[in-house]
Amino acid sequence: MINININMPLMQLSNVFLNIWNTAWPILVAILVFCVIIFIHELGHFLFAKLLGVKVNEFAIGFGPTLFKFQRGETKYAFRLLPLGGFCAMEGEDDESSDPRAFGKRPVWRRIIIIAAGAVFNIILGFIIMTIITIPQPMGKPVIAEFEKNATSAQTGLMIGDRITKIDGKAVYTTDDVGYLLLRDEDGTVNMEVKRDGKKEILPQVKFKMTTLEDGKNYISMDFFMTRVEKNFFSVIEQGVTRTVSVVRLIWMSLGDMVTGRYGLNELSGPVGVTKALAQAVSVDIIQLMHLMCFITVNLGVFNLLPLPALDGGRLVFLIIEGIRRKPVPPKYEGIVHTAGFVLLMLLMVIVAGSDILKLIRGG
């Protein structure tokens, strides 16, 4: 008698769908996270526009064809096909308008607040996420509590109880600062400033052992442990603030490293690379995902405040000029500058996206 397992095709089909789902759900979560960050940014513009008396014609998440929309009062709300951005379209924002509630008819200080609000909301979101992350994790301060056995740094100047205040001339506020500033070093030797017994001490040429990782680069092996901090409401809030400030500093330093050529264009990531990184973080654990989400939202806030055309920072420059001159820059000239900046920004995004796709193809 021949036994035929009629359930086998169904099981195979089920496995196929399971594999597809296991691959797809982290990407879907990553896209959702990306949309939340964009939503918070545009929400900042939207809320302060409403609060300061500016008419908002449309509030949208995404670009391209509209997937669904609805009207509430004077504002249309829409979700569009490509979740790569969003916008808060205010009356008279980019052209002349006779409406008394047009953006251009509001006082300069109000317009500055509205434009800056998106970036500020992103940084506030970063603070909230960082504070939540801090609650279940051990908290520390940059004070040396213990060394590993035969620690090189202990042999070249550092002592237990030292409060690290500077590394290679850059201020240290948190344990995160210590890790990042040591990570930047390439030869295993750094200059440190510490507070020891209440006095400032300069420690030149503190040495560390180096470790070569899979990317072929050499990194410092930190051979000491830092002091834990007692956890309470105020210490958690303080850690949330200082760690968020550290992320802002890290981003500024990274931008500076790109300008000076320390990091190349191929090390930039656009929406494709960010989505991949988020999807990988989703697959690991929620804390890593939240860390990355904090970094991305703060990065979006900081980047948008750069005084570059087409960014919020570029618009702020024109508003500050208007406040100083007591009259606006002619809209056609401002429009030309922002259009040129937008074209260059889109070109950069295409180049970065192409680099991200090549990395995906190569498995990088």
Pair type for strands 189-196 and 163-167: antiparallel
Among 122, 150, 170, 160, residue whose Cα is nearest residue 295: 122
Do residues 115 and 199 make contact, with C-beta atoms less than 8 angstroms apart? no
Active site residue 334: no
Task: Give me the helix-helix angle, 286-304 and 271-284, nearest 10°.
Answer: 150
* Catalytic residue (one of 42, 91, 193, 334): 42
∠ at Cα 79 (38, 272), nearest 5°? 50
* Neighbouring C-beta atoms of residue 170, cutoff 10 Å: 13
Please, which residues bridge with residue 187 across strands?
none
Secondary structure of the chain in HEC code, one letter for each residue: CCCCCCCHHHHHHHHHHHHHHHHHHHHHHHHHHHHHHHHHHHHHHHHHHHHCCCCEEEEEEEEEEEEEEEEECCEEEEEEEEEEEEEEEECCCCCCCCCCCCHHHCCHHHHHHHHHHHHHHHHHHHHHHHHHHHCCCCCEEEEEEEECCCCHHHHCCCCCCCEEEEECCEECCCHHHHHHHHHHCCCCEEEEEEEECCEEEEEEEEECCEEECCCCCEEECCCEEEEECCCCHHHHHHHHHHHHHHHHHHHHHHHHHHHHCCCCHHHCCCHHHHHHHHHHHHHHCHHHHHHHHHHHHHHHHHHHCCCCCCCHHHHHHHHHHHHHHCCCCCHHHHHHHHHHHHHHHHHHHHHHHHHHHHHHHHCC
How far is Cα 357 from Cα 364, in angstroms, rounded to an integer? Answer: 10
> What is the set of active-site residues?
42
